[in-house]
Structure 1
C-alpha cells in the first residue's frame, strides 16, 4: 500500500512540477542549469506510476555474431543469429572478462523464455512496439580480448566499434530518436573508448563514471554491479554470526593502483599494525579468490577503497559474502540506489576521514553488536539483487538493471518528443 501511495505521489509531483517549471523558465525566474537540468534526473529515476507495471518492451538488434557470441566461441557460425538454443554458456570464471560481463547477461535475459511474470523486460519483434532498443555489442569483452596495448592502432576492437557506429547511424530506429532510446552496455571503463562521444545520447550501462564524466551522467545512464568473483555464501548461518567473525576488517587486493586507487597504498600505511585487521596484497587467481572468500566470511567488515576508478568488484564480493562493506570514496555511484538505501547495510567514509590515523578503525570498533546484527541481517535480504544468472530470476541483478532502464523511459520520451517539435533546438540555452 505504501509503495502504491509513494508511486502516486511521484506521479502527482511530476504532473504539477512540469508546468510550474516551464512557466518559471519562460518568465526567466529560475536558472535553467540548476533547476531544469537537475529536474531531469528526478524524472528519469521516478518509479512506475502504477502498481503491476508491464515489463519493459525491448527490441534487440540482430547483430552478426562477431559483435557478441563469436567472441566467446570462434566456431560460432558467422551467418547465424544468436538464440536461446545456441547462445554459448558463460565460460570465464575469473578476471576482468567475468567482472564486466553485464552485457552478456543482459543479452541472454532477452533470449530467455524463462522468468514468467517476474521478468522486468521482454524482447519484442516489432520495433514500433518497443520502449527501448538494446545494442548487444560486447564492448567490454572486445576490449579485454583484442586490446593488449592502449597505444596500439587499428585493433579488432577499434574496427568493431567503427562498424557498430555505422550500423547504428544507418538504422531508422536510431535516426528516429537520435539514439536516446538505445541501451548500450559500456561496463568496462575503456569499453567503446574510440567512439563513445558519437553515442552519448544513449542510455549507457556503466560500472561508474570515473573515466566517462564528460559524456555520461546519472540522470541518463544506469549504474550496474560488477559480476562478483567469489562464490555466494549460501551455507547455514552460525549460531552467533557476530562472534564467529573474528576479524574486524579485511582487505585483499592490489595496493598499487592509478588515479583514485592511490588511496590503497595510503590506507595500507595508515592501517598497518592494527590488531584484528587484515590488509594484504593479492592478485587475481583461483587460489586468491578462495582465500578472499574464506576471509570475507570470517570478517565483520570488508574494506572497499577505490580502484583505478571509483568502484571495483570487491564491493559485490563483500555483499554476497554477507560481510558489511566499508566504502571509502568521494565519487562512487552505486547500483539500484533509487530502491536500495546502502546506509542500511554499509558504512561510508570520505577519503579524508579514512586517512585520518585511527579514525576509521575507531568508528568500526564503535559499532555495537546490535547495530552490526541489524546491518548484517539487512545485507542478507538484498544480496540476491547482485546475482547474475541464466535464466534470470525475480529481482536478480539483470532484472534490477532492466527496471532501472525502465525508469529512464519517461525522460527519454520527453527529450524525443520535444526534439521533434522544437523549431529552435535547446532554446533555453540561448
Structure 2
C-alpha cells in the first residue's frame, strides 16, 4: 500500500514539474475549475499596469459611506471622492477597496512611478478593477445571515455578478484579468463562488474553499492598520524604552483558530511584564492600544476569526516586534518581504505550553531585538494606505502583486496544486518558523 502511494506521489511530482518547465504559462487551475474562455494574461513590464475601472453606480461603493450620497450622483471622480471618516473605528481595517479605488482615481504627479494607472479605453487595459465595496457592504447591510438588512448585501452581490456576466471583457478572459477586493471574511459570501477565476484581494484564506481562492492567482493584502503610525520613534535606547515585554489588547472571544485567545489569557495573565487584556475597538481603547504597543518590545498576534487579524499591522506601524502564533497563515507581500527579519513565530502547540512563550521572549537577545526594531522602521511604509498614493506604499505593493499572478507556475502555486492533487488536509504557510531559543530556522512547508 505504501509503495503504491509513494509511486503515485512521485509520478504526480514529476508531472507537475514537467508542466512547470515546459508549459509554465498554462493555467493548471483550468483542469480543476473549468472556465468559459482562455485567460487574458496580465504581463509584468517596466511600465505601470494599465487598469480599466468600471463606472459602477455609487450604491456599490461610496454611497455606503454616506447614505445621503445617492446613486444618481454620477460616477465617482477624483473631485467628488469622499474622504474616509476620521472616526471610522474598526471599520477602517476593511477599507482596502476604498484605497485601491482612490489610487486609480488619482491623476496627479508621479504616474510613471506608480504600479498601476487608470485608462479610459478598456481595449488598452491590462487588468479590470471592479470597485464594489464588498467589505463595507457587510458592515453596512448586516453582519449575519439572519439579519434582514443582509438581503441588501445579497442583492448588490447578485447585481455585480450579473453585470460582469454581461461584460465582454469579463467574458473574453473568463474573469481572470479582473481584480476584485474581498478583504472582510464574509465579503461577497453569497455569490463569490461564481467569481473563482478572478484575482481576489483577500487578507487570508480562512473563509475560502480551495476552488475559490488560491496563492497561484490571488493577492494577500494587509488589513488597514487601526492605530496611528509611530512616526517619531527614535529613542537613545529603544529596548529599554519599551518597558512591557509582551502586549495584547483585543477581543478574546473568537471563532475557529481564534479560540486560542481565551486559552492564552489563562496562560499569560499574572506575568508582571505581560499586558494581556480583553477589549473591544472603541476610540478610547484604540488610543490605549496605540500607547501600549509603542511601549512594548513584542506584540502578540494570535489568530482572529480567521488566521490573520489587523493586530499584526498595528504592531508593524508601532515598531513592536510581532509574535505570530499560527500553524496556518499567509502574509502580505511575502514575495518581497521576509517576515523572519522582524517577526517571531510560535506554533499553536508551543504557544499553549505554559511559560514557553514568555520564557523565550525574556531570553531574546537585545541586539537581535534592536535589529528587528530597525527593520520594522524600514519596512513599515509598505503597510500604509494613503491618498495621494505614494511609491512603495500598501496600494503600490498590492498592484505589483496583482500584475502577473498566473504568468507562470510559481513555487507557491506548484505546492498548492500538489496539495490539491494529493487531497491534503492541511494547508501550510510559507513563512519560516523561528526557534527563538537557538535561532534555528526550519521551513514549515
Band the TM-score falls in, shorter-chain normalisation = 0.7 to 0.9
After superposition, the Cα gap between the structure-2 partners of 1:237 and 1:190, relative to the gap in structure 1 and judged at 3 Å, is same
- Measure the CA separation in 2 of the matches of 1:119 and 1:43: 28
Report matched runs for 1:50-65 at 5 Å. Answer: 53-65=46-58
Please point out which of 330, 333, 341 is paired with 2:330.
333
- Say yes or no: does 1:166 pair with 2:162: yes
- Say yes or no: does 1:346 pair with 2:346: no
Partner of 1:76: 69
Answer with 93-102 or 359-368: which moved more.
93-102
- Say yes or no: does 1:67 pair with 2:70: no
- Say yes or no: does 1:132 pair with 2:131: no
SS at match of 2:407: helix
Q: Is the 8 A contact 1:115 1:391 kept in 2?
A: no
Partner of 1:376: 373
Q: Is the 8 A contact 2:44 2:404 kept in 1?
A: no
Partner of 2:201: 205
- Measure the CA separation in 1 of the matches of 2:97 and 2:202: 10
After superposition, the Cα gap between the structure-2 partners of 1:399 and 1:238, relative to the gap in structure 1 and judged at 3 Å, is same
SS at match of 2:403: helix
Please point out which of 242, 245, 260 is paired with 2:242.
245
After superposition, the Cα gap between the structure-2 partners of 1:34 and 1:278, relative to the gap in structure 1 and judged at 3 Å, is farther
After superposition, the Cα gap between the structure-2 partners of 1:137 and 1:30, relative to the gap in structure 1 and judged at 3 Å, is same
Bigger proportion of residues as helix: 1
Deviations 1:151-187 (A, max 9, x none): 2467111000000011000000010001011000000
Partner of 1:112: 106
- TM-score, normalization by structure 2: 0.81
Report matched runs for 1:2-401 at 5 Å. Answer: 32=15, 36=19, 53-79=46-72, 80-91=74-85, 93-116=87-110, 117-152=112-147, 155-214=151-210, 215-401=212-398
CA shift at 1:265, angstroms? 0.7
Q: Is the 8 A contact 1:115 1:393 kept in 2?
A: no
**Aligned residues between the structures:** 381
Q: Is the 8 A contact 2:180 2:200 kept in 1?
A: yes
Answer with 143-152 or 223-232: which moved more.
143-152
CA shift at 1:72, angstroms? 1.4
CA shift at 1:236, angstroms? 4.6
CA shift at 1:268, angstroms? 1.1
CA shift at 1:238, angstroms? 1.1
SS at match of 1:155: helix
CA shift at 1:139, angstroms? 0.4
Q: Is the 8 A contact 1:94 1:284 kept in 2?
A: no
Pairwise CA RMSD: 2.4
CA shift at 1:103, angstroms? 0.3
CA shift at 1:93, angstroms? 3.4
Instruction: Note the residue ranges of structure 2 that are not aligned, 5 or more in a row.
Output: 1-10, 29-41, 410-445
Q: Is the 8 A contact 2:199 2:218 kept in 1?
A: yes
Q: Is the 8 A contact 2:97 2:131 kept in 1?
A: yes
- TM-score, normalization by structure 1: 0.84
Q: Is the 8 A contact 1:131 1:409 kept in 2?
A: no
CA shift at 1:281, angstroms? 0.8
SS at match of 2:404: helix
- Measure the CA separation in 1 of the matches of 2:99 and 2:78: 12
Q: Is the 8 A contact 2:25 2:407 kept in 1?
A: no
CA shift at 1:147, angstroms? 1.2
Tell me which stretches of 4 or more aligned residues in structure 1 moved more than 6 Å: 37-44, 47-50
- Measure the CA separation in 2 of the matches of 1:339 and 1:40: 22
Q: Is the 8 A contact 2:43 2:407 kept in 1?
A: no
- Measure the CA separation in 1 of the matches of 2:193 and 2:44: 33
